[in-house]
Structure 1
């Protein structure tokens, strides 16, 4: 397939059928046509882009959107997507597909892996936002499920309306979960009513906070897309909650008390991914150079150090601080990614980037250099 043909395919609505006949489809990442070895990132955090890391075919394992990825105790990489032919794809680190399962999560979005007494379990967030066979989007009530590592249901979390936690008319479309040090489960209702809901390890409701129209504006969340537990201070773990429309992470105690806001101007960040002292996050959109927002194909990855300073933007412009203030972050002049939705960091510090709305592409590997 020549370069002009590749360019044609990537810009037509027939991309899905065209890709079905190909063994791999990483070339639909944005970037210079024919460029084989993009190096992205800044400072000590630079990476070689492997477009065709995932060795699968859409003819056999179709993908709509790659949403999130985790690694289990066996070193396998589990990805969740929203195609009900195979919501969960299981890879080894070379990109070989080992297994696939899941047909009941049309809004498959959030994936959290937690080790309970030596056993891996999953928390799957189905946001209720799904695409039908014609490509049309629909919304329905979402749900969170706790399952075994191979998908057997352990229990679903209750819908907040049925237990009197939500008022009539408040939407519930959960996007993410996190598990606290005592087993408490935190749910981010990022596409619904923007609350963070806290349950105990049995799935019993404890409290909620966030939402909109609070007397204290610090508690307001706008697109609470992600939630994560920050263990960098081992004696004082806290929650990092995404407020994506505000280009910010907000920090809370484990019982929902506001601590601080970390502004990331220009970057519509997804969930915070903690690895060592660093925070990694997919950036789904970034502000354009003429000030526009929510423009497609403006995503990248952002990396913060232990002091919450942005140190690298793979696929984006180099971070710039003036008098200690972070300036607006944007994607690179030559775009590499479409929409960064999630990042997984493996033990060798390589990154795996899951993308939303990226022409049905599989996760992209960024090899640390």
Structure 2
């Protein structure tokens, strides 16, 4: 039991060395991860092979996206097994089949909107789908906005501006939508998840999270929200305990059901949980931008070790 992480109904054991790549390949770092209806796992990485596909046991199946993406950032699996790939390097969202065929591109490649203009996009971060198939895009690095599109890719409206008040954002980094149409935005540097209706009207917020970076909504009669939280990075507080990096499981009122994680490269530890998802059996996959994060915790002087871990699987343990 010493290697069981989490509490209550959400307890996990680490699966060591999950995700075997062909000889000589490297993910470098994984920005996001998604699973399809057959529990195949899609790692959206910043290596030479942007989308690497594994079976649930970690066996490599295929890759695609070479030459297509500028900088992998967000990945969302639609209910129809369609992938929504957010590229913050060229300011686009691409709708792709599971074998990499591009069906729709939203945004103009390499033509960002003006900084903090509220217009789409300036380094967009993630996508979500409404129950009707509308598309939400969080636009966080060069903007402080959420944009809503029709299923065909027509811009409907946007909301948000820089700030700390309800409906304002300080780096909207991830976004999900529940079956009732409510929209949850990881307002990362405000340490909160804001909740909106489908018209962008503020409904509430969760504030018991630290730099929420990634969100995933579980399915079923009693859904929950999985949150990947980043740790502190200021010189004065980056060694503080009990702040992450970690993974938390919250009910839909924001109550913590389970939480585990601390800084490091061992089991139950993280460098930077930038993306996460859960498969049909409740197993958890965590994507980390470890190559970027590692030097920040070593005074910027230590380069990341070769092959620093950037993708983990945690098998759910029955309560």
TM-score by length of 1: 0.72
How far the C-alpha of 1:237 sits from its partner, in A, is: 2.3
How far the C-alpha of 1:199 sits from its partner, in A, is: 0.8
The corresponding residue for 1:40 is 5
Q: Is residue 192 of structure 2 the alignment partner of residue 248 of structure 1?
A: yes
CA distance in 2, matches of 1:218, 1:288: 25
Q: Is residue 289 of structure 2 the alignment partner of residue 356 of structure 1?
A: yes
CA distance in 2, matches of 1:204, 1:179: 14
How far the C-alpha of 1:175 sits from its partner, in A, is: 0.9
Q: Give the 4+ runs in structure 1 shifted more than 3 A.
A: 159-162, 165-171, 286-295
CA distance in 2, matches of 1:213, 1:289: 24
Number of aligned residues: 293
TM-score by length of 2: 0.82
The corresponding residue for 2:316 is 368
The corresponding residue for 2:245 is 299
How far the C-alpha of 1:168 sits from its partner, in A, is: 7.1
Partner of 1:245: helix, strand, or coil? helix
Which consecutive residues of structure 1, in runs of 5 or more, have no partner in the other structure? 1-36, 129-140, 317-329
Q: Is residue 60 of structure 2 the alignment partner of residue 97 of structure 1?
A: yes
Q: Is residue 193–residue 207 contact of structure 2 (8 Å, CA) maintained in 1? A: yes
CA deviations 1:168-193 (Å, max 9, x no partner) are 77470011001111111111112120
Partner of 1:285: helix, strand, or coil? coil
Q: Is residue 209–residue 219 contact of structure 1 (8 Å, CA) maintained in 2? A: yes
Aligned counterparts, 1:152-301, within 5 A: 152-159=101-108, 166-167=113-114, 170=117, 172-213=122-163, 217-231=165-179, 236-265=180-209, 267-276=210-219, 277-286=223-232, 291-292=237-238, 298-301=244-247
CA deviations 1:144-198 (Å, max 9, x no partner) are 1112221111121134997xx9557747001100111111111111212021011
Q: Is residue 54–residue 362 contact of structure 1 (8 Å, CA) maintained in 2? A: no
CA distance in 1, matches of 2:239, 2:160: 24
Partner of 2:211: helix, strand, or coil? strand
CA distance in 1, matches of 2:279, 2:146: 28
The corresponding residue for 2:299 is none
The corresponding residue for 2:70 is 106
**In the superposition, relative to structure 1, how do residues 168 and 284 fare at CA in structure 2: closer, same or farther (>3 Å)?**
closer
Larger Rg: 1
The corresponding residue for 2:88 is 127
Which consecutive residues of structure 2, in runs of 5 or more, have no partner in the other structure? 292-303
CA distance in 1, matches of 2:269, 2:247: 10
CA distance in 1, matches of 2:168, 2:54: 38
CA distance in 2, matches of 1:294, 1:357: 19
CA distance in 1, matches of 2:236, 2:116: 37
Instruction: Give RMSD over aligned pairs.
Output: 3.1
Q: Is residue 35–residue 278 contact of structure 2 (8 Å, CA) maintained in 1? A: no
Aligned counterparts, 1:302-321, within 5 A: 302-316=248-262
1:142 to 91, 95, 98: 91
Partner of 1:63: helix, strand, or coil? coil
How far the C-alpha of 1:352 sits from its partner, in A, is: 1.0
How far the C-alpha of 1:48 sits from its partner, in A, is: 1.1
CA distance in 2, matches of 1:112, 1:272: 10
The corresponding residue for 2:276 is 343
CA distance in 1, matches of 2:232, 2:69: 28
CA deviations 1:223-261 (Å, max 9, x no partner) are 100110022xxxx32000110001100000111111111
The corresponding residue for 1:320 is none
CA distance in 1, matches of 2:45, 2:283: 21
CA deviations 1:79-131 (Å, max 9, x no partner) are 11122x21001010100011111122131111112244xxx322110011xxx
Q: Which moved more, 1:336-345 or 1:220-229?
A: 336-345
Q: Is residue 47–residue 314 contact of structure 1 (8 Å, CA) maintained in 2? A: no
Partner of 2:172: helix, strand, or coil? coil
CA distance in 2, matches of 1:74, 1:42: 27
